[in-house]
Amino acid sequence: MAVKINENYLLLKSSYIFAEIAHRVDKYQNEHPDADVIRMGIGDVTRPLPKAVVNEFKNAVDEMGQADTFRGYGPEQGYDFLIEEIIKNDYAPRGIQLDNDEVFISDGAKCDTGNIQEIFGLDNVIAITDPVYPVYVETNIMAGRGGPMGEDGKYQGLVYLPCTEENDLVPALPQEDVDLIYLCFPNNPTGTALTKEQLAKWVNYARENDAIILFDAAYEAYIREDNIPHSIYEIEGAKEVAIEFRSFSKNAGFTGTRCAYTVVPKELMGYDGEGNPQALNPLWNRRQTTKFNGVSYPIQVAAKAVYSPEGQKEIKESIDYYMKNAEIIRESLTNIGLKIYGGVNSPYIWVKTPNGMDSWEFFDTLLDKAHVVGTPGVGFGPSGEGYFRLTAFNTLENTKEAMSRISKLSF
């Protein structure tokens, strides 16, 4: 008998959006070798690690090379020296009390937002905003929760919460009965953020409907406005209904270094088959201790240095740099009459394509006429059709040049 595969993998859309973009750009560059293509589609940071981080990182590597300071396996949940800094800096000043064992250090919010579904039953109904960071969707498909994709580009077993011009990209509460709700604010890809009042509606909904919110705050550091919560736990009662994901990738340039964390409050409960409440914190702890062996010591030391005064100063400079780019993109595109969202509390600018162009038509037009690459919105879900994502992660010079080229186009 031949080996059987997990057939859920066959339900996944074959081409991941960034592979298709790379393919089209390569083809274009082969045909137009002189075109100076500027990539504004990247979701990766470009500024280097802060010096304060690099210095501590190097010191920790040296420690690993000395017999008396060498460390082997660390705690799977992360070292207390980092967890304590996280609680002291990211939560306590906002009035949020957490115990060390409610914070789990990991090597990425991608893995955590992808793996979290393992601790939940397969028959839970999953709600996602549309457009969405694809990891939430695809990990549930792999697990068997999504079913096949329909003609409308939606996996039939998932509940989609459209975010479009009609609702100003703010998802409405679900009409259906849903169990797990993935929310990401500030949002990738739309760049929008929720105010405290808007997020409180979701927390209340979850409390009233026994749902759980999986809150991805990977872009928290980009929040500029006062009334935008940095953590879902700023909303009263959220600890009973929400898991929060954070990352050092986008605030401190750790995309290639890898460090993140997830908060699973002890109050948070799911239910077993008999209807008895079961705390989720020990389940996630069990999952992590079984399948994960912790983030390397030097990287956790490096992450701790993010919280040093020098580290904080440097990361603020980098974020200010990206947000200056975001402002330039916003201004340039608004000036030529394009409708845009985001870029105020986030490094993403979500553009409504002009003249009813679809996302890929707009992609091809910008590539051909301005040699600028962005990300077609439809790649993030069916409601992303007719939209396009630009990011503020390129250099100031390239951002200005790209905007100057786009500004010369007429739509």
Question: Could you tell me which residues are annotated as the binding site for pyridoxal 5'-phosphate?
Answer: 73, 109-110, 133, 188, 219, 247-249, 258, 293
Q: Find the shortest distance in angstroms from Cβ 48 to ligand PLP.
A: 16
Q: Find the shortest distance in angstroms from Cβ 210 to ligand PLP.
A: 25
Q: Indicate the SS3 state at residue 319.
A: helix
Compute the distance between CA of residue 192 and CA of residue 346 in angstroms, rounded to an integer: 7
Q: Find the shortest distance in angstroms from Cβ 247 to ligand PLP.
A: 3
Residue 187 vs 365, nearer CB to ligand PLP = 187
Q: Which spans of this chain sit near ligand PLP (rule: CB under 6 A)?
A: 43, 108-110, 113, 133, 184, 188, 216, 218, 247, 249, 255, 260
Q: Indicate the SS3 state at residue 33.
A: coil
Q: Indicate the SS3 state at residue 44.
A: coil
Which residues belong to the annotated binding site for substrate? 16, 43, 110, 133, 188, 293, 389
Can you name the residues that pair with 340 across neighbouring β-strands?
A: 351
Q: Find the shortest distance in angstroms from Cβ 213 to ligand PLP.
A: 14
Q: Which residue is nearest to ligand PLP (CB)?
A: 108
Q: Are 409 and 357 in contact (CB under 8 A)?
A: no
Residue 178 vs 214, nearer CB to ligand PLP = 214
CB under 8 Å to 239, separation ≥6 — which residues? Answer: 233, 265, 267, 268
Which residues belong to the annotated binding site? 16, 43, 73, 109-110, 133, 188, 219, 247-249, 258, 293, 389
Residue 251 vs 365, nearer CB to ligand PLP = 251
What 8-state DSSP symbol labels residue 166? Answer: G
Q: Find the shortest distance in angstroms from Cβ 111 to ligand PLP.
A: 6
Residue 300 vs 365, nearer CB to ligand PLP = 300
- Count how many Cα atoms sit within 13 Å of the Cα of residue 295 in the half-sphere of its side chain: 29
Compute the distance between CA of residue 272 and CA of residue 286 in angstroms, rounded to an integer: 16
Residue 104 vs 133, nearer CB to ligand PLP = 133
Q: Indicate the SS3 state at residue 251.
A: helix
* CA neighbor of 370 nearest in space, from 351, 344, 345: 351
